[in-house]
Each structure stands twice: as structure tokens, then as C-alpha cells.
Structure 1
Amino acid sequence: MTKKRNIVVKIGSALLANLELLTPRYGFLQRLLEDIAQLRAEGTNVILCSSGSVALGLRIIGETPESAGVSDKQAAAACGMPLLLNAYKQVGHEFGFDIAQVLLTLGDFEDHRRFLNTRNTVHRLLESNVVPIVNENDTITTEEIRVGDNDRLAAKVAQMVGADDFVILTGVDGLYDRNPDEPGAKFIAEVEDVGMYMDATKGKSTLGTGGMETKLLAANMAQEAGVTTWIAQGEVDHPVSSVLDGSRRSTKILPHPNPLSGWDSWIANRLQMAGSLVISDSLAASLSGDRPIRREDVISMTGDFTRGDVLHIYDSKGIERARGLSDFTSEELRVLTSNPDTQAEQLLGYRTKGEVVRSANLVMLENRHLLWDAPEEIVGQV
């Protein structure tokens, strides 16, 4: 049996909600879902990652995008989600397909078991010919436990389902080498290294939480999983298929020719930093993933993490070198590193080799990932 093509489509709030009235834009939904119906008829699976619930709920609670605080946005999401799903359901019914809602939080991506459970649910929906509509559960998330933008959430979904293509529909026709409103701004049709354009991507949309910067961060995650990313204007007929068939202008971000395995990609592509380590320069210089990181290698650490969280690993200059799965809680690791001459078993009460990150759970970043800045508290310690 031929494997179906998987496409993840991320739709920004400004395409789904009228900026002034904060009501659903049914004309856009009509064009989008008609296009998706045609793609499905050709044998393509489509997963939607949809913003819009907060924007659509603001009017109901008497707030605006400018006035709304965190609790206002949570309440607005609760009011807006039924409106958003009802709009998708009404238009989707016209084109003969069913939809399903999948609400996620940061933990559903950062905890590997929950990540796999979510993947199984999405695959089961696709097997039943149902279109999954994925969104962050904004009603319950706070700053500490939220993904923060649907661009990176959608990239994690693309990684999760093994997508072939990741299409980001937005209000501009792609990436420029500077603000597109500036004279002489040059359109970028194809990108290999997103890091070259990060400085030109600051700012965000009025209704959404992410601008071009988050789109490039998301594209880098997709690259590592072997997914082609497209950034394109959404206000056109056939908004998805016209990107994929090359009939209109968009920015294509190429996948890495040697993508990471699913396990390594899950470790390397983080949404938040659980904790970090600074290791000795001698180890950093020779680090290859062939040997574990042991407690004697750790110079300093930061964060409150549990066993199984992913740690960001830095050298003494604050340059990120690797990411890996911790075998200890932060409390255990502090005890181990504070008592280097005492056996680990005596300190912790159970047998252990004292390996903080096993070699099998360590991913070297090399030159293919966008690096995270080291937390200020550990940079100051070395």
C-alpha cells in the first residue's frame, strides 16, 4: 500500500478572525477547506494547527487584543474555542469531511510518553479520515507551562506525525532579508540555514503571539525532522495546494539531508529549557556522543528538573554544545556534584554509575540547530 503524504498546515489568527469585529472569517475558511478537500481527494492527509480561539473570544468577554491580560486570554479561549470549532465544522461539513479537536499543552510534547500517546491519537484520526485540528489549550496554560506560539507547536506536530510538508499560512508572502516595509527589502525564495535571517525577523502580528522569528524557529525544528517548510500568504484561492505545486510565490525552507531519528529529534528540539549544565572545556572539545557526561564533568548547573527531562549542555564560554536526557533530578545532581569524593550509592541510596546523561541519550548540536543562549546565572559562574 502506498504511504499517504502527510501535510501539517498552520493558520494564523489574523487569517481566521476579523481584526476589527473579532468574528470568524468564513470566506477564508471556505477557500481553505475547499482546498483541503481537494488534497484529501488526491490521497493526502492534512493536519491543521489553528490559532484563533483567543481572538474570537475577546469580544464575548469585552476585551481587545491590546487590553487583554493572561486571565482574560484564558477566558477568551474558553469562549472562542466553540466558535472556532463550529466554524470549521460547518464549512467542513459542506465539503464532506469530519473534524476533531486535539488540545495540547507543553507537557504533551516534553514528556515522551505523552508525546507518543498524542501521536497515536492523531494517527488514529487520520486512519478514520478525520481532519485533526490541533491547538494549544490556552484555557488552562500559564506562562510557565505553555508552548507560547502555534508556529513551534505546529512544527512539533509535523515532527510527531512524520510530515512531508509543513505549510505556514500567514499575512505576508514569505521571508525577506529585512522588514518587508523597508525600501529595498529582498524576498528570499529558498533557505538552507535559517540562522542567517534571524536578525531580520523581530516583531509579531497584532492578533497572534508569533512573528517571522517564531516561524524560522519552527522551520528549524522541521528541518531536523526531514520536513520541508513553506511560508506563504494565506489570502488566496487554493492557499495550500498553490504553495505545494509552486504556482505562487512562497519561501521554501529545505529539510536537512540527513534528518535526525525520531528519538534524537525529540531530544534536540525543545520548546522550553528544563535545566542546563556547564561542562569542562576539555570534555566540550572532544564531546561526540560516544561517551556519557558524568558528575565529575559538571562545573555548574541551573534549573529544577526531574529524571527524564532534557538538559541543555554548554561549555565555559556559554556556547551550547549538546542536549541530553538527565538520569537524575536536579536535587540528586546537586548532591552528587557537591560531594565528588563520596560514592553515588552512598549519597543517593541506590546503585548508579553516576552518569548524568548516557551516551545513547545525548545529541550533538553541531551546526544544524539554532542554539539557545545560556542562562545568565550559569554564565556568571564560569
Structure 2
Amino acid sequence: MTQKRNIVVKIGSALLANQEMLTPRYGFLQRLLEDVANLRAQGNDVILCSSGSVALGLRIIGETPESAGISDKQAAAACGMPLLLNAYKQVGHEFGFEIAQVLLTLGDFEDHRRFLNTRNTVHRLLEANVMPIVNENDTITTEEIRVGDNDRLAAKVAQMVGATDLIILTGVDGLYDRNPDDPEAKFIPEVTEVAPFMAATKGKSTLGTGGMETKLQAANMAQEAGVTTWIAQGEVDRPLSTVLDGSRRATKVLPHPNPLSGWDSWIANRLQMAGSLVVAEAVADALAEGKRPIRRGDIISMDGDFTRGDVLHIYDSKGIERARGLSDFTSEELRVLTHNPDTEAEQLLGYKTRGEIVRSNNLVLLETRHLLWDAPETINEL
């Protein structure tokens, strides 16, 4: 590998924690970080997105993966994070490099200013030759405000840092056209579009929060940013190098040849839905023909409580998602505007505004290559 790579690696809990004892698997960490050291010695940057803190902390608080609730998992994360980082630090020192912890929440990805601040921190660590280890801050997050799986978190990190490769290490050697336990399951070596394989990806591991479905969702997000994704078995010697040099089997998800810009990728690749709008079919078709803003008269219905600067999902009247865009108004302001269509926006809101709900330069049209989101069932008619 002569070309410098910027590599983001996602490691699942089942690889890091002994399933019965819920203790760190030092043998795996030795193999992983030895390979990381070799990649770094060749001039590559490596960022780890590591699960494991909850799994490692469950034993300390007397819980199991089956019995733990939300508060248990938050407490377990607080107990397990020092164990996880200490294990990484001990093994990292054996191979002569330092590590740093970067704890993130959903807001660090969905708020653009915090997104940029996080990116600057990660780049500064890489400049100092320190390997960032990224994880969701499970001690403070709840179901409503969490990313929920480190597969998509890793894809957002890959987008954030302009990675060349995203390697997702898991318990199987890649993607199959059905459950790999089925004797007739066929291995898929290369994927250009992930949508046809989504139906075969249900299920998750005992310790983890995501299965193959979230891995393909992550791969689709990485595709949009021009990142190559690899899904591979983690229980091997040189688990990263053997993927990148093609010496062992793994599923390769190809990046799109025309990736989105950084701004458009940030808008289009969401982790949660802040709010949504339904527009008339003619408006949706006009959006597809050429960028135009979305105005209050275009809106049939809306859903969600959102603030100015949140990304809204735009649906047509048939419930098909057509675009995503940055809202210029809060949900309360938008309700006032849409319920009083004949009154000037400035008179209603008390400040001067063009009245465009989503400006054309803050709107990203979705193509067939995107995984579309289902419309909310609770969407409110105006």
C-alpha cells in the first residue's frame, strides 16, 4: 500500500469483550493494535470507533446484557470506559503510540458547528501522531438523543475526517444474501448499491446494538461521502491489513463515483429525524427538475418539534422521501406561517424574512442511491 490512507475502523463489542466473563479480550487487542502500528508506520492515519464500554461495565454493576435497562447501561458505560481505555492504552504503549478518547453524542453530528469543532479536534490529534478512539457518550445519552449504534457513528466519523476507507470488523466475514447460518447463503464480495440487500440483514449480536442492517446503513452513508467500506471478520491476524491488501475475504462496498460535497453530505446523511414536511406532488417534481426553495404555500403537512438549522425530511403526497434540507424556521414559527397563509411573514414573526422554509442552497435532492426513510405515521395535517 503506497498511497496514504485515512482509515476509520469500527470494532464491535463482541470482539472486545469476553461474552461470558465480560472482561477485555487482550489477545484481540494485541492483534488489532499491532496491525494499527504497522499501518501507521507506513504513513496511514487510523481512527478507531470502539464499542465495548457498556459490555465491560455490566459485571461491575451486577447486570447482564439481557437484564440491563437504560440506566443500567449508562452506569455500566461509566464503569466500563476506564477499563476499555486502559486496555487500549496498555497495548498501545507496547507498540509505541499514544491514544486519545473522543466521546460524542448525537448533537455533535447533527449540529454543524459542533460537527466542525469535533473534526478539528480529531485532525489535531492525528497531527500530533495520537490515535483517536471515538465512542458515543453512553453515560449521558438516552434513546431519544443517542446515535444508537457505532456502525453509523463510524460512518459519520469517516465523512467528518474525509476518510478513504471505513473498515467494520464483525463476527462474520462479510455480507451474505441471507442469514449466513443458512447452508444455501451466498457470500457477496462487492456491493455498489446496498438497498437490494437490506431485507437480508435483520438481527444483531448479544452484546452489540447493531447488526448487518446498521452496517449497510453505515456503508450507504460512507458511499455518499466517497468512502470505501469493508465488512470483515475481526478474529484474524492482521485484521486490517489483510482487508486492505485483498489477501482475505471481505465485502467491499464501493463509493459513489460522484460523491456529495461535504456540506451536502452533512445534510443528506442523518442519524435521526428532527422533523419532516409533506409537499404537493407538483412541488416535489419541480424540486427534482431543478433546485428551488420550499415556501410555506408548498407545505401540505408537517411533523416534529425542530429548531432553526435542523435538517427536515421532505416527502411528496405519496409518502416518498424526495429531499432533505435545512429549516430556516422553528416548528412553532412554521406552524404560525402555514396557518396564516395570507399574512406577511414579517408581520407574523416580528422580523424581516424572505419566508423561504428551506433555501435552495440548503436543499439536497435524494437519488436512487440513497436509503430513504419512511414518513412518520404521526404527520399532522395543516
Normalised by the length of structure 1, the TM-score is 0.98
Q: Secondary structure at the match of 2:237?
A: coil
1:3: how far off?
A: 8.4
1:381: how far off?
A: 4.6
**Structure 1: distance between partners of 2:97 and 2:182:** 43
Q: Secondary structure at the match of 1:20?
A: coil
Residue 369 of structure 2 corresponds to 368
**Structure 1: distance between partners of 2:363 and 2:3:** 31
**Structure 1: distance between partners of 2:187 and 2:209:** 23
* 2:310 corresponds to 1:309: yes
1:253: how far off?
A: 0.1
Q: Secondary structure at the match of 1:172?
A: coil
Instruction: Give, as a single letter, the amino acid of the residue that structure 2 aligns with 1:96.
Output: G
**Structure 2: distance between partners of 1:52 and 1:372:** 29
**Structure 2: distance between partners of 1:232 and 1:69:** 30
* 2:255 corresponds to 1:252: no
* 2:345 corresponds to 1:344: yes
**Structure 2: distance between partners of 1:342 and 1:167:** 53
1:114: how far off?
A: 0.1
* 2:285 corresponds to 1:285: yes
Residue 56 of structure 1 corresponds to 56
Instruction: Give, as a single letter, the amino acid of the residue that structure 2 aligns with 1:297.
Output: D
Instruction: Give, as a single letter, the amino acid of the residue that structure 2 aligns with 1:102.
Output: V
- Check conservation: 2:286, 2:292, Cα contact below 8 A: no
Deviation string 1:270-321 (CA, Å, 9 cap, x unpaired) is 0000000000111111213521000000010000000000000000110000
Q: Secondary structure at the match of 2:144?
A: coil
Deviation string 1:177-236 (CA, Å, 9 cap, x unpaired) is 000001210000000010000000000100000000000000000000000000000000
* 2:98 corresponds to 1:98: yes
**Structure 2: distance between partners of 1:265 and 1:97:** 32
Instruction: Give, as a single letter, the amino acid of the residue that structure 1 aligns with 2:305.
Output: D
- Check conservation: 2:302, 2:381, Cα contact below 8 A: no
Q: Secondary structure at the match of 2:49?
A: strand
Alignment of 1:118-157 (within 5 A): 118-157=118-157
Normalised by the length of structure 2, the TM-score is 0.98
Poorly superposed stretches of 4+, deviation over 3 Å? none
Alignment of 1:1-382 (within 5 A): 4-288=4-288, 290-378=291-379, 381=381
1:4: how far off?
A: 4.1
**Structure 1: distance between partners of 2:322 and 2:369:** 11
Q: Secondary structure at the match of 2:145?
A: coil
Unaligned runs of 5+ in 2: none
> Residues 252, 270 of structure 1: CA spacing in aligned structure 2 closer, same or farther, 3 A cutoff?
same
> Residues 344, 220 of structure 1: CA spacing in aligned structure 2 closer, same or farther, 3 A cutoff?
same
* Percent of pairs with identical residues: 86
Instruction: Give, as a single letter, the amino acid of the residue that structure 1 aligns with 2:320.
Output: I
Instruction: Give, as a single letter, the amino acid of the residue that structure 1 aligns with 2:224.
Output: E
Aligned residue pairs, count: 380
1:377: how far off?
A: 1.8
Instruction: Give, as a single letter, the amino acid of the residue that structure 2 aligns with 1:64.
Output: T
Instruction: Give, as a single letter, the amino acid of the residue that structure 1 aligns with 2:297.
Output: E
> Residues 106, 23 of structure 1: CA spacing in aligned structure 2 closer, same or farther, 3 A cutoff?
same
**Structure 2: distance between partners of 1:183 and 1:374:** 36
Instruction: Give, as a single letter, the amino acid of the residue that structure 1 aligns with 2:364.
Output: V
